[in-house]
Chain A
Amino acid sequence: MIPFEPIRLFAFGGFNVPIVISLLIIGGGMLWLLIRSLKAKEVDRRIVFVFIFAAVSAPLLFEITFDETATPIVKGVFEKIENMPERSRIVIAFDFDPAMAPEVQPMANAVIRHALAKNHRLIFISLWATGQALMDKTISEIIPAEFPQKQDGIDYVSLGYKAGNEGVLNVIVSNVKKMFPTDVNGVPLTDIAIFNGVRSMKDVDMVMAVGGGKPGPKEWVLFVGDAPGGPPVAVGVAAVVAPQMYPYYPKQVLGILGGIKGAAEYESELLHNYPRFAEQDTPGLRMMGPQTLAHVVIMAFIIFGNLAFFIGGRHKEKRL
């Protein structure tokens, strides 16, 4: 386990001057505002703006990232993959398009890395025509470079895209071959080692559905996970869709990776447990940098506002 670090300073692999300076400026500014608030002085809105600007641009420029602690809803997914016996079969569904990719692609990447590091086997599938290209790209970018010993057909296989939306799920939940007689390269499923003993989706050990539209994670839960004998399903969704998925947790889904925050939590959990990924790009954590700092700034301002308000003798603010 990497010991806990609140802020990882790894832009230049070590002590990083610009990060320290920018954080000192922001922190010092906050301190100054705290003292002002304790004197019951109000802050001009432009000062709020400056802090927001700094809080968003500093992490962007200097790659400041914050260590995330996985919340139970994300940890559920991580621990399932971690604790399954080796060589378990995991289905990864790519149900998204390039527009949604910035938010959900990091989740797919993190889960793929984790599963392969754990020596599980992966089955890729897409219900979106636009998903297949993203899937091919992901496979060709991650596997040969990071897991050169993994072989197509033995350790992973891509089934490609199939039209028919949730109808496809309805079929593969009882028979995969009927919908996908071959994999994406035209090899019959009967010749693919992963599918030995896999007749339907009920025979895989887990489904990780990544997406945000329809058909997508919700359909995987309803048509595959909820089918009698269906596999456990975990989902990764865009932030706007996450509230619609919450009602399924924890009864029907193992866990939910919601938006970039969910991706960041998973990445950080991965980094904690697998030092080998320390050099990997972690877009989730990277994109959470500005978010976290901005949220902290906003929360700090809410506290300042209340301090000023109470110390200032609860003066009437409203006109009229």
Chain B
Amino acid sequence: MRRQVPLFITFFVGTLLIVSVFIPPMENLGEDFTLFFDIIAVFAFFLGGGNLLRVHLTKLYRKSPDWGFSVVTVVGFFLMLAAGLFKIGNPGDISASVTAEGSMFQTMFNNVVLPLQSTMYALLAFFIASASYRAFRAKNREATILLVAAFIILLGRTPFGMMLTAWIPDSWSVLQVPNLAIWIMNSPNLAGQRAILIGIGLGVVSMSLRIILGIERTYLGDDR
């Protein structure tokens, strides 16, 4: 029961979904199963949310270092949960969208989640600079190619790319930095992307097969 049933479920569901692609009357099966997944995921929120609360309440209870911040998490969580589940301050009634403008839920989203989200995202501007400083060094041939490609594209995005190479005659125009940048994006970049994608396609097919056939079962506890 403990080992065989899950393996059978995986095999059955996986095979069913592959076959359904070729059988017109079952063509919506994939969509339905995606919805099934979403529904199960909502049930899983009980586990996830419960875990989040448990972690922070334990910190509170034990007065672990930084327990004060756990109060912030717990209070924020319950405030938002109440705002969303009871649609507090929603201009419409229960049938209005939970994210209706003017509701407490949306106001908190706009003024707490959104600025935090976009600032975390904006950190990338700094990290992309520190990563280029550290990583783009001509340590070996591969790293040099990486560096040169990145540098040409970067240069092509500033006025200096054109300024430096404007003297190149039109019959050699591919060597002008902005054109070269376009050419790199269109040709070698495309080739690399394609090779990666074809490999990924095969990798997914192979892994899916291993899972469906029960060869790969670490996720279920490979307790042999």
Contact = CB atoms under 8 A, between A and B. Distances in A.
Direct contact of A and B (CB under 8 A): yes
Interface of A: 43, 45, 48-49, 51-53, 56, 66-73, 243, 246-247, 249, 261, 291-292, 294-299, 301-302, 304-306, 309-310, 314, 317
A249 B125 CA distance: 30
13 contacts: A72-B173, A72-B178, A72-B179, A243-B186, A291-B158, A294-B125, A294-B129, A295-B158, A298-B129, A298-B133, A299-B154, A302-B132, A302-B154
Q: Is the interface of B mostly helix, strand, loop or mixed?
A: helix
Contacts of A297: 129
A314 B136 CA distance: 13
Nearest to B179: A72
Interface string B146-180: 01001100110111111100100010010010110
Contacts of B138: 306, 309-310
A262 to B, nearest CB: 10
The secondary structure that dominates the A interface is helix
A102 to B, nearest CB: 14
B120 to A, nearest CB: 15
Interface residues of B, number: 33
Contacts of A249: 182
Interface string B176-206: 1011001001100000000000000000000
Contacts of B158: 66, 291-292, 295-296, 299
A298 B154 contact: yes
Given A243-B185, A295-B158, A301 B129 contact: yes
A301 B133 contact: yes
Nearest to B126: A49
B185 A302 contact: no
B133 A302 contact: yes
Nearest to A46: B130
